[in-house]
Amino acid sequence: MKYSIIYAVIRPEISERVSLGLIFVDGDKVDVRYSPQKLAAVRDLFPPKEYEFLSQVITSMPTDGSVNSVEAINYLSRYSNNLIAVSPLQSIDVAASEQSKAILFKNYIYEAA
C-alpha cells in the first residue's frame, strides 16, 4: 500500500502546515479521506475566501475523481499551490485494509477523543 498526506499550508514562507487527510493507493484503487474536525479547526487561520477554496478542494477530493491515479498524486505533490500541499507517495509493507487505513489516519491525521 502507498499513502500521501494532504496538508493545509498555513505559512508557506516557513513551510508551516497542518495535515488534513490521506490518500491511499492500493493497485488501481485510490481512497481519499480527510478530517472534517481538522478542516474546521483551521478556519480561523485563513481569510474567508482562502478557507472556502481550501474547504471546497479538500471536501471534493474523495468524490470528484481529481485524485484517481498515482500520476495525479505525483503531479499534486510536485505542483501544489500555496494553500494545499500533497506529500510524495510513501510505500509501506502493509496490506490495504480498513484497519490499516484507520491506524494510519489516526497516527497522521486525527484521532477522535
Residue 113 in any domain: the answer is no
**Per-residue pLDDT averaged across 74-91, rounded?**
84
User: What does pLDDT average to over the chain?
Assistant: 89
pLDDT score at 113: 55
Question: How many structural domains is the chain composed of?
Answer: 1
Query: How is 41-64 classified by DSSP, letter by letter?
Result: HTGGGS-HHHHHHHHHHHHHHHHH
Residue with cell 480561523: 44
Q: How confident is the model at residue 105 (pLDDT cuts 50, 70, 90)?
A: very high
* Burial zone of 15 (CB within 10 Å; 0-12 exposed, 13-18 middle, 19+ buried): exposed
Residue 19 in any domain: the answer is yes
Residue 95 has pLDDT above 90, yes or no: no
C-alpha–C-alpha distance, residues 63 and 92, integer Å: 25
Residue 78 in any domain: the answer is yes
Residue 88 in any domain: the answer is yes
pLDDT score at 79: 75
Residue 46 in any domain: the answer is yes
* Burial zone of 46 (CB within 10 Å; 0-12 exposed, 13-18 middle, 19+ buried): middle
Residue 69 has pLDDT above 60, yes or no: yes
Q: What is the pLDDT of residues 3-35, one digit of tens each?
A: 999 999 998 889 899 999 999 999 888 999 999
pLDDT score at 64: 73
Residue 90 in any domain: the answer is yes
Which residues span the domain enclosing 20? 2-108
C-alpha–C-alpha distance, residues 107 and 81, integer Å: 25
